[in-house]
Structures are given as C-alpha cells and as structure tokens.
Amino acid sequence: MFENNISFDLTCPLPIANYDSVQMAHGGGGRLTHQLIEQMFFKQFKNDILEQAHDGAFLTMTSKNIAFTTDSFVINPIFFPGGNIGELAVNGTINDLVCCGAKPLYISIAFIIEEGFPMEELWQVVQSIKHAVDSAGVKIVTGDTKVVEKGKGDKIYINTTGIGEVYPDISISPQNAKPGDVIIINGNIADHGIAIMSNREGLAFETVIKSDTAALNHMMDGVFEKCKKIHVLRDPTRGGLASTLNEIALSSRVGITLFEDQLPVKEEVRGACEILGFDPLYVANEGKILIILPEEEALSVLESLRLHKFGKDSAIIGRITNTDPGLVKLKTIIGTTRMVDMISGEQLPRIC
C-alpha cells in the first residue's frame, strides 16, 4: 500500500497483535487502552516531551510569536497512491504553520477509530505518521484515542494540532497581497485530488497518479532565510488553487490574474481531469504552497525553491492587480480572459 519506499516493520507488536482489529475496549480507558497507547503510539512517537507522560505537554519556546493551528482528516480512501491519512494529517498541519511564516515544532495527534478497524492498517498509519514527523523534524507531544461503534465512523479520523515559532522580521497575512506582486507555486497542481478520485472511482490510468502530500517546512526554511518580504502564503488544499486565490483576492481587496499557459499541471493529471470532468484549478493539493511577493524578490525565491525536491517545478503563475478587486481572472491559453470563480459545493462528475 505504501508508495513512498518507507521501510519499517510491517508487523504489529504483541500484545496488540492478539487483536486483529480495534475493539471498543481499546478506547475504554482500561488495560487494552493502555496497551494500545503504549505499544502502538508511545513507542513509535517517543521523544523527551512525550515521555513526561503527563496529561498535557510542557513546552519551551524561545520566541514570543507563536503560530497555532488545527486540522481534522476524514479522507476516503485512507490509503491512496503516494501516501495515507497518517502522513497527510501531519503534513497538513505542518504546512498550515508554514503558511503562517512559522517553523513547526510540536504537534498533537488525536485518533477517532471505528470499531473493527484492522490493527495492521492502524500500524501502517502510525508508521507513516512516525516517518512524517521524523522527516519534518517535529515532535508529537500529546495525543488522544477514542473508539466509536462500528458504523458510527468511517475507519479512522485523525486530528492534528500544531505549534510553531514565527520567523523574525516577516509579516505574512491573507490581507497583504499588493498590486504588482507576483504569485509563485512550488509545482504541479491537482495531483492529490486526482490521486484520491481515481482511486475512489477505481479508474486506472497508464501511469499511477500519486498524491503530492509533503511537509514543506524544510523547503520554506531556505525561502524565509532569503526573503523577508513575502506578503501572503497559503496552501491551496480543498477547493484548489481557484478557491484559495479567490479568498486572497477578497481578503486583500485586490484583483488577481492567472496565466493558464504558466500553470504547472502534469500531463496525466490534465488527462484525468478531462475524463472526470474536473477543472485542475479546483482540485485539492496537499504539498503545494502559494507565495505572493514583490516581483523583485521572485527570482531569488524561485531559485531557492527549485533547489528543493518539493519545489523543482516552481513557477510564477500570476500577478496581483489593482483592477476588479476581489475577482480572479484567467488569461486563457488562447489569449482571452475569463473569470475564475470560487467553487460551489463540491465538483460533481458530469454526465457526458
């Protein structure tokens, strides 16, 4: 099920393995809960703060400016090409902190597990969480587990909350986009949404489309060091690029022009979107960040992004304007201009 070549022991430790699936009693607070937490979570996520084994975590921060965020993950399917719900939950919260201009440090993790969820799958999710926090260099400092009756949940839900220290001398906010600024994205759009959709619908394409889920903190470390003048950072997750840019246009009271011929979209993702009737502009991403900054800063930031594996396809895709505040427009590949509206509800598969 894993696509990321993560190597780990696929076997659950005893005595967890005595149960091949999660039981109500695993959330009941008794011996089974204790075993599950000890064997499944504690040992895997262990670090100095977690080992205090307190009701909460005592944290030491050096900066006065703290960023704080939370996110819940309820995805179906939980395993998909390029990742699973575990790393998604970690990376999502890390990226939200990065978008605040912060260095992510600590996260909490809470599981709501449906009774009967296979222990082996939980183990895989936990391993992927471990891999994600280790590679991002953050610590899981507190957590929670609940089990709900069969049919009252959908396999597993994960909530993560994150805390980070804001980089000094930067001021990032959705209200900060200024006319003349350019918009950079760190690579191809729509990979995650199409990976999920093609998996959910059982559609097989010639090449497997993988989710782009990734923690972007290391890539952005380099950018924050180079450039203090970033105005806006956002990760275009649900609702895709179009919805995020519409929010920015409204918050900053500016116009936005996107250039269709500059938008990076993988060939196979474009093909899948054509078949499914989706517009890549509205499809979710999980490893992308939009950077809005003054034009004179763009080249050095692009250079820095392109050095990193998650930024090698970075491109300037648009510009902030002072015309039509609140509206996003697209310069199409044939040279015309049209509106890019915010998504209404969810994208629905078309008939023909």
Binding site for another protein (CB under 8 A): 201, 203, 267, 270-271, 274, 276-277, 327, 332-339, 341, 344-345, 348-352
User: Which residue, 20 or 201, has its beta carbon nearer to another protein?
Assistant: 201
In whole angstroms, how close is the CB of 298 to another protein at the nearest point?
Answer: 25
For 143, the token pair is 């957590």
CB of 266 to another protein, least distance (A): 10
d(CA 255, CA 324): 5
CB of 208 or CB of 275, closer to another protein: 275
Q: How far is the CB of 336 from another protein (least distance, A)?
A: 4
**CB of 284 closer than 8 Å to CB of 192:** yes
Q: Say if residues 144 and 204 touch (Cβ distance below 8 Å).
A: no
- Using the minimum distance from each CB to another protein, give the nearer residue, 53 or 204: 204
d(CA 153, CA 170) in angstroms, rounded, equals 41
What is the distance between the alpha carbons of residues 56 and 17, in angstroms, rounded to a whole number?
Answer: 28
DSSP string, 122-147: HHHHHHHHHHHHHHHT-EEEEEEEEE
The C-alpha atoms of residue 42 and residue 142 are separated, in whole angstroms, by: 10
State how far the Cα of 127 lies from the Cα of 39, in Å rounded to an integer: 12
- Indicate the residue among 35 and 246 with the shorter CB distance to another protein: 246
Closest approach of Cβ 100 to another protein, in Å?
29
* Least distance (Å) between residue 197 CB and another protein: 10
Question: Considering the complex, what minimum distance in angstroms separates the CB of residue 127 from another protein?
Answer: 32
For 150, list phi and psi in degrees, rounded to 5: -50, 130
Residue whose token pair is 């009737």: 277
Q: How far is the CB of 348 from another protein (least distance, A)?
A: 4
Q: Which is nearer to another protein, 14 or 334 (CB)?
A: 334
Q: In the 8-state DSSP scheme, what is residue 53?
A: -
3-state secondary structure of 234: strand
Q: Which is nearer to another protein, 255 or 287 (CB)?
A: 255
The Cα–Cα gap between 8 and 25 comes to 27
Bridging pattern class, strands 182-185 and 315-321: antiparallel
**To the nearest whole angstrom, how small is the minimum distance from the Cβ of residue 50 to another protein?**
40
Residue with Cβ nearer another protein (56 or 345): 345
Report the C-alpha gap between 303 and 155 in whole angstroms.
Answer: 42
